[in-house]
Structure 1
């Protein structure tokens, strides 16, 4: 397993890779005690990580070596000394810290298992209950660290280790003067986001190898519920609040208490968890920003009660005036009980709508060669090795005679929709979502009519994608849709080094009710 993961870059790390002359070898014994058995990996700061054994106590250890030692290793050694003073089941135990001048090394607990980074990379996003449990363990660890007045400074999917026995531990504190307890707390939000979406929302790690979050034009990450169906609303709110610097970060013990409550509620699918309860330094009071939600909820209940009373009186009056016949009154419907025009806004979590090859086709307006016909099926076959690959164009905007190209989705019947997700091979694509009421035919003239008559979703304005994923979620909950067009209007430079502009659309998913 990766015993030291890709953590946050620090000022000391910014000087570049450390030198590794005189590297150790298998079988070498450090400090007459720690025998090196296997070189595991190098961390993001260029330090070597070895699996070893303490020949005195006969226990496995992890040895983290940095070349050279001396002043360049001061921060690493000091962080290790500080961490050794905190004993907690969710913190990796630190056993030793030694500076030999030519090299320095930290000896700590060896954990059999895998990092959160490896787990999500191999298995995909975690279920909400598992994500909550991991975040709860890390928050507990941070509460213990912060209680001593120290900062961890390196909370990351690579330093969050999940042992084979299920224990979750935080490794490799790397705090410097720029780190803070708030930074640790925000990073827990990052862990939750990564566990739920498989994408990393924080931007301060410029060289992170983790997939970047889907972001809007302002650089803000999309909420987990916009990326993936089935994320409970309270867990989604908590995650985004932790990432939002406009919302005061709670103390670590308050966050741990809130996550403990959500962790306990996970067995019941987060039912009746109530509003978020933490504020800075207080784990039981509700944030003031939730008051408006409460007021709105109470007002809504009052309105429903009044409407129910009015219709109840009408029903009684109608019954008395019609010789005992009963007239049914429906809240939100018409006076005669016809609710066909009533708002049918869905309340359940959106679910992925299965798409098949016969439900999608390429839209290629006039002046196109229609050579991409049939490739739309590659976007819905759940095969990562297939995609719709556009032709190579000399201009990014398809040329002056062609407005763009896209994939038309026919859901077979009108559906209430929540979002459309598009995955591409490279960023820098300009695209939009358009909807219509009919497919005039798989012909050049039919495609021309689609482009001219379909309407864009107003709230999802065009803009170049920052990442390889785009989520469109501006569907009207009071409206149903059958025909949806994913339309590309500007392409990125081809990534094969042969010039021109092209992109591969790997996957399209539709979520609805």
Structure 2
């Protein structure tokens, strides 16, 4: 068992530990805490011991510092502050004592290992496990921040995972050098490390909370020539777009992070137990392990795969139902807009304005989606991409309201939804279900999906997708369903870009569009 806590284990450059008067096995501190085993020395020179509270007969961790007095003030104040916040994801602090020649903090003993040790030993975690850990850390911070305090020391060495799966945060600081915002950015660092095995703050971290001792042993993030970090899904496959976006947003100094309670609520929404996956089709249904990876510790055997299969079958059934209703009742009421509008992606045949259903086609599973916004400054419109493939046409992604004109107020050339089918497929058609008629859009394709989730990365992606499938839909003749079926049957496609160039006008004023659902038919 390991008990890192209170910072990471000492490295070669750590200050020497004072051994004069050092404790011994069996020594009784404050006539109550018996020292059992020396575990390690942390990178601040403190001694971490496993002990026993002989009064309550429970295991404890004892962190000693030599000398006490003024040099131990910060450690003791942090312990007193931490003891006032009781939360299942915070290490409990039981006592803080200053004996002048030494000072020590007595806290909860956690059988397990730090996130740093876990990832170093076993490699990056699957997205579901990383989300669960991020949720626990954010939940702990929400409790700390509710009291007006700051943790100030969130990093992979202070995030601990017990043998029974509980995630706890240790070693709060109260030196006044940090802020709640920095705590939240540190959650982004923890997510990035859990997903990639790399620490994103490097030698020039974004803020003091993650610039503390013990960082040199963590491998730095992969960076481009300008020093920008690569997004998690550029480092490894299988990271969902929304988790990638959330992590990069938390690390972006130009984007204000949400409050800790909002972040906790969002991660809690994504952190769904395996036996409840069939109740919620957003987010975690698309958490999939890479071929050959071990299944997520959070998922029951086959749980997510079964849920995904059920969700896919339900979506296929819904699409079939809509098509059936349209075919059987299409000519009954000329005053109503048909469910499926005429497609101008390919010439109509047989005198009918409706495209024929592709023979032997099936709905393809979309592995990943992302909102593309090359002119974004605050990245406010890039969330909720997963809603366009969740099988629920009642919810979707939507743009902001633009006031000047339908072409995004003259601020940008367009926005889009990038689609990754996971592997090359023969594609028959793509249908986009919109919130209202009057939009202009086109479907593009490219061969590269490795672009960072940023304004610069989005600009590069749009430039790399020059090929248009069929004919674009103009605002004058588009309905609430756009069907693109101008695909080359001799080619296979993996990456698609639904690119919106003009927004419909709202009855209440302004221009705005919602994309409720995107489905891909192929083989």
Conservation of the 8 A alpha-carbon contact between 1:230 and 1:351: no
| Aligned-residue offset at 1:474 | 11
Of the candidates 337, 344, 348, which is equivalent to residue 311 of structure 1? 344
Q: Which residue of 2 aligns with 1:215?
A: 223
Change (3 A) 1:240 1:88: same
Q: Which runs of 5+ in 1 are unaligned?
A: 275-304, 331-344, 353-414, 421-458, 461-471, 482-513
Q: Which residue of 1 aligns with 2:36?
A: 37
| Aligned-residue offset at 1:350 | 5.1
Q: Which residue of 2 aligns with 1:201?
A: 200
TM-score, normalised by the number of residues in structure 1: 0.55
Q: Which residue of 2 aligns with 1:232?
A: 240
Conservation of the 8 A alpha-carbon contact between 1:20 and 1:68: no
| Aligned-residue offset at 1:219 | 2.3
Conservation of the 8 A alpha-carbon contact between 1:39 and 1:51: yes
| Aligned-residue offset at 1:19 | 3.1
Of the candidates 251, 262, 265, which is equivalent to residue 257 of structure 1? 265
What is the correspondence of 1:95-110 to structure 2 with a 5 Å cutoff? Answer: 95-110=94-109
Of the candidates 409, 417, 420, which is equivalent to residue 348 of structure 1? 420
Change (3 A) 1:228 1:349: farther
Could you tell me how far apart the structure 1 residues matched to 2:52 and 2:116 are? Answer: 25
| Aligned-residue offset at 1:68 | 0.9
Give the length in aligned residue pairs. Answer: 318
| Aligned-residue offset at 1:29 | 1.1
Could you tell me how far apart the structure 2 residues matched to 1:142 and 1:80 are? Answer: 16
Change (3 A) 1:327 1:215: closer
Change (3 A) 1:416 1:248: same
Could you tell me how far apart the structure 1 residues matched to 2:200 and 2:119 are? Answer: 15
Q: Deviations over 1:360-381 (max 9, x none)?
A: xxxxxxxxxxxxxxxxxxxxxx
| Aligned-residue offset at 1:2 | 3.9
Could you tell me how far apart the structure 2 residues matched to 1:351 and 1:312 are? Answer: 24
Could you tell me how far apart the structure 1 residues matched to 2:6 and 2:43 are? Answer: 5
Could you tell me how far apart the structure 2 residues matched to 1:309 and 1:176 are? Answer: 66
| Aligned-residue offset at 1:329 | 10
Conservation of the 8 A alpha-carbon contact between 1:5 and 1:44: no
Could you tell me how far apart the structure 2 residues matched to 1:66 and 1:473 are? Answer: 53
SS in 1 for 2:19: coil
Q: Which residue of 2 aligns with 1:272?
A: 282
Q: Which residue of 2 aligns with 1:298?
A: none
Q: Which residue of 2 aligns with 1:63?
A: 62
Could you tell me how far apart the structure 1 residues matched to 2:244 and 2:45 are? Answer: 35
Conservation of the 8 A alpha-carbon contact between 1:265 and 1:271: no
| Aligned-residue offset at 1:92 | 0.6
SS in 2 for 1:236: helix
Conservation of the 8 A alpha-carbon contact between 1:199 and 1:211: yes
Greater displacement, 247-256 / 205-214: 205-214
Conservation of the 8 A alpha-carbon contact between 1:136 and 1:260: yes
Conservation of the 8 A alpha-carbon contact between 1:145 and 1:152: yes
Change (3 A) 1:22 1:87: same
Could you tell me how far apart the structure 1 residues matched to 2:423 and 2:7 are? Answer: 34
Q: Deviations over 1:478-499 (max 9, x none)?
A: 7999xxxxxxxxxxxxxxxxxx
Change (3 A) 1:319 1:6: same
Could you tell me how far apart the structure 2 residues matched to 1:219 and 1:20 are? Answer: 42
| Aligned-residue offset at 1:311 | 3.0
| Aligned-residue offset at 1:272 | 3.3
Conservation of the 8 A alpha-carbon contact between 1:8 and 1:154: no
Could you tell me how far apart the structure 2 residues matched to 1:313 and 1:134 are? Answer: 48
| Aligned-residue offset at 1:150 | 0.8
Conservation of the 8 A alpha-carbon contact between 1:36 and 1:51: yes
Could you tell me how far apart the structure 1 residues matched to 2:8 and 2:178 are? Answer: 10
SS in 2 for 1:102: coil
RMSD of aligned alpha carbons: 3.9
Could you tell me how far apart the structure 2 residues matched to 1:20 and 1:78 are? Answer: 24
| Aligned-residue offset at 1:264 | 2.6
Q: Which residue of 2 aligns with 1:84?
A: 83
What is the correspondence of 1:40-439 to structure 2 with a 5 Å cutoff? Answer: 40-203=39-202, 204=205, 205=211, 207-208=214-215, 209-264=217-272, 268=277, 271-273=281-283, 309=342, 311=344, 314-315=347-348, 318-320=349-351, 347-348=419-420, 416-419=447-450
| Aligned-residue offset at 1:164 | 1.1
| Aligned-residue offset at 1:346 | 8.4
| Aligned-residue offset at 1:151 | 0.8
Conservation of the 8 A alpha-carbon contact between 1:19 and 1:67: yes
Could you tell me how far apart the structure 2 residues matched to 1:313 and 1:66 are? Answer: 76
Could you tell me how far apart the structure 1 residues matched to 2:418 and 2:86 are? Answer: 48
Could you tell me how far apart the structure 1 residues matched to 2:44 and 2:134 are? Answer: 25
| Aligned-residue offset at 1:28 | 1.1
Q: Which runs of 5+ in 2 are unaligned?
A: 206-210, 285-337, 359-416, 425-445, 468-490, 493-523
Could you tell me how far apart the structure 2 residues matched to 1:147 and 1:84 are? Answer: 14
Q: Which residue of 2 aligns with 1:20?
A: 19
Change (3 A) 1:122 1:312: closer
Change (3 A) 1:151 1:351: farther
SS in 2 for 1:95: strand
| Aligned-residue offset at 1:262 | 1.1
